[in-house]
């Protein structure tokens, strides 16, 4: 297939967005817009925000470019918006600029009221089939994934067992201060992810409870977080949750993030009070996902670098 011109990519991207909107329109999911700049940002220990300052006479107010529209969209959900989706710009200040990363990128994020994570996985699969003309997605639990690929039970193993697997696979990693979850993520990213999703998209679901982020935890044989990630051609393209609705548990997780950031001598964001009030007023039972649209469009167009599908890459902006 001959390489497309830059303008041809713009037209294809426009068509791609129209397909996405058509998909959600047929399912009666409302498109919304939320702020790109906000007075608060996330506490996530793995993500940093771009910060700016708003000047009003002698008053200086910090604002943050949003890493995701999640908090604002959940405020809408708590105000009875019903199921919603959004195509928007997001920003992450992590020094990531490469063939799959751009600090400014496009997200597709949506929330489905009365869905759990399995319901949402089915809808994500439907969307991928619609957009990419691929096979329907398959699913595998986090536990079974590690048992199949590395012959280890991730919920019960210890750090030494994970180190041994890394050594056997010639992964030479500076192990200073790495937690069990850090080791699990390293093994997942280096030894498992590169093999996922080549015949059909694949979902990994029911992560360790210690990796819950904003997901509900289910009391099972081993407590698990009701979240999932979806992979195509060895790349993660989306992260979804059966959303946590308990404001007290959410506050505890935010405070734990703040403590970790404080211990690492990093900037500690304040907890978003407006978001917490929305949770306290009652977030409906729902499931949500954020998908990187630039990566998804790369798959659609069969290209290798994110630069090829962006009107202007980070170093050209």
**CA 162 to centroid of chain Cα atoms:** 25
132 vs 135: CA distance, rounded Å: 9
User: Phi, psi at residue 100, to the nearest 5°?
Assistant: -120, 0
Average pLDDT across the chain, whole number: 93
Q: How confident is the model at residue 3 (pLDDT cuts 50, 70, 90)?
A: low
Give the pLDDT confidence score for residue 81 in this predicted structure: 98
Burial class (CB in 10 A: 0-12, 13-18, 19+), 214: buried
Give the pLDDT confidence score for residue 95 in this predicted structure: 64
Q: What is the pLDDT of residues 29-50, one digit of tens each?
A: 999 999 999 999 999 988 999 9
pLDDT at 256 over 80: yes
Give the pLDDT confidence score for residue 22 in this predicted structure: 98
pLDDT > 70 in the chain, percent: 97
**Cβ contacts of 8 within 8 Å, gap of 6 or more:** none
pLDDT at 269 over 70: yes
Q: How confident is the model at residue 175 (pLDDT cuts 50, 70, 90)?
A: low
234 vs 308: CA distance, rounded Å: 19
pLDDT at 1 over 70: no
Give the pLDDT confidence score for residue 220 in this predicted structure: 80
CB 106 within 8 A of CB 312: no
Fold of 6-137+200-316: BirA Bifunctional Protein; domain 2 (3.30.930)
pLDDT at 2 over 70: no
Give the pLDDT confidence score for residue 57 in this predicted structure: 84
Beta-carbon count within 10 A of 312 CB: 10
Least confident of 93-102, 219-228, 235-244: 93-102
The upper half-sphere exposure of residue 183, i.e. CA atoms within 13 Å in the direction of its Cβ, equals 23
Q: Where are the domains of the chain?
A: 6-137+200-316
Give the pLDDT confidence score for residue 178 in this predicted structure: 84
Q: What is the pLDDT of residues 120-164, one digit of tens each?
A: 999 999 999 999 999 999 999 999 999 999 999 999 999 999 999
């Amino acid at each position: 297939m001959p390489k497309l011109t830059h303008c041809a990519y713009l037209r294809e991207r426009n068509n791609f967005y129209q397909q996405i909107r058509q998909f959600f329109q047929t399912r009666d999911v409302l498109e919304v817009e939320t702020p790109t700049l906000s007075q608060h940002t996330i506490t996530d220990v793995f993500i940093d925000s771009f910060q700016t300052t708003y000047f009003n006479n002698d008053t200086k107010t910090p604002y943050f470019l949003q890493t995701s529209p999640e908090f604002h969209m959940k405020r809408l959900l708590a105000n009875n918006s019903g199921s919603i989706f959004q195509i928007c710009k997001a920003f992450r200040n992590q020094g990531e600029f490469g063939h799959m990363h751009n600090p400014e990128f496009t997200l597709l994020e949506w929330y489905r009221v009365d869905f759990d994570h399995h319901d949402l996985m089915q809808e994500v699969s439907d969307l991928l089939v619609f957009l990419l003309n691929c096979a329907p997605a398959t699913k595998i639990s986090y536990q079974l994934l590690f048992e199949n690929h590395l012959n280890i039970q991730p919920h019960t193993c210890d750090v030494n067992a994970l180190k041994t697997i890394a050594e056997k696979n010639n992964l030479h990693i500076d192990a200073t201060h790495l937690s069990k979850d850090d080791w699990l993520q390293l093994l997942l990213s280096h030894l498992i992810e590169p093999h996922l999703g080549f015949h059909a998209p694949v979902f990994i679901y029911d992560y360790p409870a210690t990796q819950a982020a904003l997901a509900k935890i289910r009391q099972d044989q081993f407590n698990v977080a009701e979240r999932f990630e979806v992979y195509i051609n060895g790349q993660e393209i989306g992260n979804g949750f059966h959303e946590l609705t308990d404001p007290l548990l959410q506050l505890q997780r935010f405070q734990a993030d703040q403590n970790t950031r404080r211990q690492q001598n990093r900037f500690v964001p304040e907890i978003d009070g407006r978001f917490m009030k929305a949770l306290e007023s009652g977030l409906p039972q729902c499931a949500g996902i954020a998908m990187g649209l630039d990566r998804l469009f790369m798959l659609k167009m069969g290209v290798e670098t994110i630069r090829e599908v962006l009107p202007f890459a980070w170093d050209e902006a």
